[in-house]
């Protein structure tokens, strides 16, 4: 059993809390924003967890996607050539940052978790911290999915599982996912999503 802290218990965080509690883990969920609206999302959420120092040496699973206002409309933010994962990881440089649970809608994750056999759904993940990979894979498996690593937090790896990447927003199964990662890893994402 691992003690898991979840910052934000909305669609995705709530799902993961249920998956992992069901898998026998001790899950602690962050408080809701009932004192008013908090706007500096990532920074404030990190503060709630005790700040960057409190996360040193801990594995952090980042489920977020870089959506925001682009030219006055909802869209995918331009992070200056960096991946969203490495942009966020820079806020807690001594944490073992893992990007996961971001490619599929919360509704689909809830309905497809726990499948067995060839239809078991893949959850892509990426990290620079090789030592954190086994724990990340175990949690993904306990949550009811097959873990497939896209690589590091560099845009040429994790970028393929972020919005507009080929692996984003699509259901993959194990062999299909391994082949796709082998094809894409180390390349600049085309920026169009899965053909
Ligand atoms: N929904 C999806 O299908 C989906 C799929 C893949 C990835 N994602 C990504 O996952 C992330 C979460 O999405 P979601 O759909 O789960 O959002 P959500 O339902 O709106 O939940 C967000 C949670 O974060 C909390 N929160 C917001 N700002 C906070 C702050 N400053 N400090 C602490 N807690 C804060 C919210 O608290 P309150 O309840 O008090 O507002 C809420 O519990 C997003 O980046 C999204 O792009 C979403």
Residue nearest to atom 28 of ligand 1 (CA): 41
DSSP state of 89: H
Q: Which domains does the chain have, with CATH numbers?
A: 3-184 (3.40.50.720)
Going by their DSSP bridges, the two strands 96-100 and 122-127 should be labelled as antiparallel
pTM for the whole structure: 0.90
Would you say the CB of residue 108 lies under 6 angstroms from ligand 1?
no
Confidence of residue 95 (pLDDT cuts 50, 70, 90): very high
Confidence of residue 195 (pLDDT cuts 50, 70, 90): low
Model pLDDT for residues 127-173, shown as the tens digit of each residue: 999 999 999 999 999 999 999 999 999 999 999 999 999 999 999 99
124 Ramachandran zone, left/alpha/beta (phi>0; psi -120 to 50):
beta
Q: How far is the CA of 118 from the centre of ligand 1 (A)?
A: 31
Q: Which two tokens stand for residue 88?
A: 């966020």
Distance in angstroms (rounded) separating the CA atoms of residues 88 and 110: 25
Model pLDDT for residues 3-33, shown as the tens digit of each residue: 898 888 789 988 998 899 888 888 877 755 5
The more confident residue out of 85 and 26 is 85
Residue 41 has pLDDT above 60, yes or no: no
What are φ and ψ of residue 131, in 5° steps?
Answer: -65, -25
Q: How far is the CA of 117 from the centre of ligand 1 (A)?
A: 31
Nearest atom in ligand 1 to the alpha carbon of residue 32 is 40
Residue nearest to atom 13 of ligand 1 (CA): 12
């Amino acid at each position: 059993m691992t003690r898991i802290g979840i910052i934000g218990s909305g669609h995705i965080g709530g799902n993961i809390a249920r998956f992992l509690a069901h898998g026998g883990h001790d899950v602690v969920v962050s408080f809701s924003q009932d004192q008013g609206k908090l706007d500096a999302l990532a920074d404030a959420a990190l503060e709630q967890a005790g700040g960057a120092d409190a996360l040193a040496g801990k594995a952090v699973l980042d489920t977020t996607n870089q959506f925001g206002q682009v030219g006055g409309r909802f869209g995918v933010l331009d992070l200056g050539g960096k991946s969203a994962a490495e942009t966020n990881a820079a806020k807690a440089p001594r944490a073992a940052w893992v990007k996961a649970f971001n490619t599929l809608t919360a509704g689909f994750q809830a309905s497809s978790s726990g499948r067995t056999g060839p239809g078991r759904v893949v959850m892509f993940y990426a990290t620079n911290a090789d030592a954190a990979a086994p724990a990340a894979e175990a949690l993904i498996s306990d949550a009811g999915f097959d873990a497939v690593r896209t690589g590091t937090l560099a845009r040429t790896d994790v970028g393929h599982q972020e919005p507009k990447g080929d692996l984003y927003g699509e259901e993959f199964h194990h062999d299909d996912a391994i082949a796709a990662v082998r094809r894409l890893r180390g390349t600049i994402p085309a920026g169009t999503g899965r053909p």
